[in-house]
Amino acid sequence: MTDQKIEQELKDRLSLIETMIAEGRRSTESWGWAFVFWGVAYYIAIAWSSGGFGGPTWSRNYLAWPVTMISGFVLTWIMSARKRSKQPPTTIGRAITSIWAGMGISTFIIMFSLGYSGRMDLHIAIAMVGAMLGTANITSSIILKWKMQFVSGLVWLAAGAVSCFLTENQAGILFLVAIFFCQIVFGILGMIADARERKTSGTAQDVSHA
Amino acid sequence: MPELPELNPVIHGKLRLALLSLLSGVEEAEFTWLRAKTASTDGNLGAQLLKLEEAGYVAVEKKFVQRKPQTLYRMTEKGRAALTDYVGALRQLLGSAI
């Protein structure tokens, strides 16, 4: 074998290692749908709690957030379990899941306590949700090295902080805008990026010649 | 350029190298997932995984999930060290060519 051929073969081996490692890690990056899903869930809860749906079933406004959030958790768990069964677990995936699960459970417990004790205030709610979602997004973005998510986290943090200085109506509008950009738009962009990556990386690489 | 024999022959096989690289990025993986990612046949894949297992580079766990048999493969510390050494040797051999 000539030196040139040997060199090319060694380069091919290095390239194969990089491709396969990337292929294994790709499973942690398909989460765009979850952002869109939760953005829609927030909108449903807001519309329901403000009496936007009308009718006898939807008149129990106090149920809006608990019911929507619990349903959201259950559906997210089912959908992610279906994804997990097709993909092997990764350390990065476990880290990201634990951040979001911890954030979700903590937020739910505090919001439920505030609501049940009658101390719920829109400013407090938006500031807390903004801080929690901001922290979770920024932490995930640092692990995944995903700049777009880092910006999304900063927007959530800013929305939480700014809402403290606004009127109730202004804070409510700011919350709706933050949901639109940080959940719906960000989620759709994430889904597009996932689809593009799947298309370019293609399917299995034939390495069956041992 | 130095000769190829300096590279670990267990890892140098294309399919075995692909398998170790795949396993380095995940905690554990099913036989079917590895087969799909490498586009290999059951027989060939099983034989190459056995070689890696005999070298102590991968650990195997067989269990039943909802009454279906499942074979899980996990990279061992020895396997991780061997892959790291192999990549180091490759880079050394290629030198300025990369």
- Residue percentage of chain A with pLDDT more than 90: 46
Domain around B83 = 4-93
pLDDT digits (tens, 9 = 90+) for A36-79: 999 999 999 999 888 766 665 555 677 888 899 999 999 998 98
Give the model's pLDDT for residue B93: 85
- Cα–Cα distance for residue pair A121/A115, rounded to 1 Å: 9
In a domain, B98, yes or no: no
In a domain, B59, yes or no: yes
The beta-carbon neighbor of B39 closest among A20, A27, A206 is: A206
Strand, helix or coil for residue B27: coil
Give the model's pLDDT for residue A71: 94
Q: Among A2-6, A61-65, A205-209, B19-23, whose mean pLDDT is lowest?
A: A205-209
pLDDT digits (tens, 9 = 90+) for B34-79: 999 999 999 999 999 999 999 999 999 998 888 888 899 999 999 9
In a domain, B16, yes or no: yes
In a domain, B37, yes or no: yes
Give the model's pLDDT for residue A63: 83
The 10 Å Cβ neighbour count of residue B36 is 13
Is residue A76 within 8 Å of A102, Cβ to Cβ? no
Band of the pLDDT at A160, cuts 50, 70, 90?
Answer: very high
- Cα–Cα distance for residue pair A150/A135, rounded to 1 Å: 9
In a domain, B33, yes or no: yes
Angle at A36 between CA A32 and CA A42, to 5 degrees: 145
CB contact under 8 A, A21 and B16: no
The 10 Å Cβ neighbour count of residue A200 is 7
- Cα–Cα distance for residue pair A13/A154, rounded to 1 Å: 41
CB contact under 8 A, B39 and A208: yes
Is residue A89 less than 8 Å (CB to CB) from chain B? Answer: yes
Q: How many domains does chain B have?
A: 1
Answer with the residue of higher pLDDT: A103 or A62: A103
What number is the ipTM of this complex?
Answer: 0.81
The beta-carbon neighbor of A90 closest among B27, B38, B97 is: B27
CB contact under 8 A, B39 and A207: yes
CATH code of the domain covering residue B72:
1.10.10.10
